[in-house]
Amino acid sequence: MTTVVAPPPARRPGLIRRGSGRRLLPVAGDLVLAAAICLLGFRYLSQPMQELEARGLAQVMSWIYPGRASDVLPGHVLLFPEGGAVIDAVVTASCSSILSVLGLTALTAVVLRSRKLHALWGLVVAISALLVLNHLRLLLSALAGMWWGDAALVLFHDWVGTLWNLVATLAGFLLMVWLTLPSRERAEQDVDGRHTAQRPDSWARPGLGYRVVLEEPAAGTSTRRRTTLTGLLHRYVFPGWLSRRLAARRESGRIDYRIGHLPTEARIARVRELVGDGLGAHTASLVAVATYDEDPLVLDCLALAIAARQWEPITSHRVASLRLWARGWLLARDPQDDDEPATDETDGAGLTDETTRIAAVARMAVPPSPPPPPVGRHSRPPQRQLSFARPVHPPHPEEMPR
């Protein structure tokens, strides 16, 4: 009698799978955040905003026509034209600027939040401009009612005021984007939003951003540094310890693209200086060298320098990435490279033994990979092997023009 073993039941796919399915979570979270800002903001801020704008309109009208405007009713403005009936102007939700304010706030929280203080500053200025423009629209509508009656007030509000509101919202959005995004000199960015205006051509990769053609200054003219709000705060407001801490944090996330413009010997010396300050001091620059540089001498120098500082604590995800990259790079090297010194064909005349000789590194024994499981009816497809090792000359796909 033969016993037949039933195959294990097929695993049903979960709600969230790896890859593109998991990337839907941040998108869904942003949509939920934008909807919550709009709904909750309109629920709790619509009425106070209408009353505030009605009170401001009545105050300005009382300055222009003393005693002929009143805000005795919340959200209403009573106008008393000469020789006419009393006009009760009600500031409704469509008259208020609450919808535009909530829309800009949701866009800032979802799309522009990576700019942090710049995004907050742009949002504050855009909301202020929106409030002023909407107040001017309400004032012109009230003046039309005072001069030509309630029919003129309704006509101006429904036709001219609607177009005015659309133009004001668009102008506020453009103003917010203009203040949030970096200036033209620093407009080129990589996929993480970091500035790459000084990126060397040897580090060019698809997806690193676009080039901005800057006009050369005329002969005899000096470029003057601009006075920024951040510089004034660091110079006159912030204490010294806070400025140094913020500067160290900024330096840790800043990429020094001047490294890519240096020759091989100077680039190796610069990498040693950066690693000597600590892996957490210039982490973004070291990660950029490990990612974009193709010179094996520079990469060997970086990997050996990182391996020599194993005693440093892992203070960020970039430091952990550097550690893993260095281990993968040293394990992926050919053992024959340790026996004879490497030479650079391009700058061989200017290199010394100190920069070209590569020390031998003790390698860890890597166990062989297990055999693949037999492919059956209910077996899962094999997963792709992940490795932190990077080849010496990685293939780079050509960027297709769009």
Nearest CA to 339 out of 319, 359, 356 is that of 359
User: Which stretch of 169-183, 304-318, 387-401 has the lowest confidence by average pLDDT?
Assistant: 387-401
Say which residue, 192 or 151, is predicted with more confidence.
151
Q: Domain for residue 106, yes or no?
A: yes
H-type alpha helices, 278-379: 283-292, 296-307, 317-332, 353-356
Are residues 261 and 153 part of one domain? no
What is d(CA 247, CA 254) in angstroms, rounded to the nearest whole number?
A: 10
Which one, of 224, 227, 220, 194, lies nearest residue 208 by Cα?
Answer: 194
CA-based nearest residue to 90, from 136, 154, 168: 154
Query: Are 276 and 147 in a shared domain?
Result: no
**Would you say 81 and 149 are in contact if contact means Cβ atoms under 8 Å apart?**
yes
In a domain, 378, yes or no: no
DSSP code at position 157: I
d(CA 81, CA 86): 7
Give 271's pLDDT tier (boundaries 50, 70, 90): very high
Lowest pLDDT segment from 159-173, 260-274, 323-337, 342-356: 342-356
Average pLDDT, the chain: 76
pLDDT band of residue 326 (cuts 50, 70, 90) is: very high
pLDDT of 352 over the 50 cut: no
Asked if residue 55 belongs to a domain, the reply is: yes
400 domain residue, yes or no: no
Q: If you average pLDDT over each of 30-39, 89-98, 391-400, which comes out highest?
A: 30-39
Strand partners for 90: 76
The residues with which 69 forms a beta bridge, in sequence order, are 79
Query: Which stretch of DSSP H or E encloses residue 78?
Result: strand 76-79
Domain count for the chain, please give it: 2
Torsion from C-alpha of 283, 289, 290, 295, nearest 10 degrees: -160
- CB neighbourhood size of 100 (10 A): 22
The predicted structure's pLDDT at residue 115: 81
- Mean pLDDT computed over 207-223: 52
Residue 9 lies in a domain: no
Cβ-Cβ contacts under 8 Å for 7 (sequence gap 6 or more): 376, 377, 378
Distance CA 38, CA 44 (A): 10
pLDDT exceeds cutoff 90 at 226: no
Q: Which two tokens stand for residue 83?
A: 């020789």
Q: Which domain holds residue 331?
A: 254-356
Please tell me whether residues 160 and 258 are part of one structural domain.
no
- Is residue 77 a contact partner of residue 58, using CB atoms and an 8 Å limit? yes
Instruction: Say whether 270 sits in a helix, a strand or coil.
Output: helix
The pLDDT tens digits of the residues spanning 365-383 come to 445 556 666 655 555 555 5
Q: Among 161, 181, 201, which residue terminates a domain?
A: 181
Indicate the pLDDT class of residue 356, thresholds 50, 70 and 90: very low
The region of weakest confidence among 31-35, 241-245, 291-295, 353-357 is 353-357
Q: How far apart are CA 39 and CA 37, in angstroms?
A: 6
Rounded to the nearest 5 percent, the helix, strand and coil shares of the chain are 55, 5, 45
Please give the pLDDT value at position 251: 83
The residue assigned the tokens 């009612």 is 145
Question: Is 234 part of any domain?
Answer: no
Do the domain assignments include residue 160? yes
Of 149, 181, 213, which residue sits at a domain end?
Answer: 181
Q: Angle, to 10 degrees, between the axis of helix 98-110 and the axis of helix 117-148?
A: 170
The answer to whether residues 177 and 269 belong to one domain is no
Q: Are residues 34 and 177 in the same domain?
A: yes
Domain boundary among the residues 128, 155, 181 is at 181
Clarify whether residues 276 and 176 are in a common domain: no
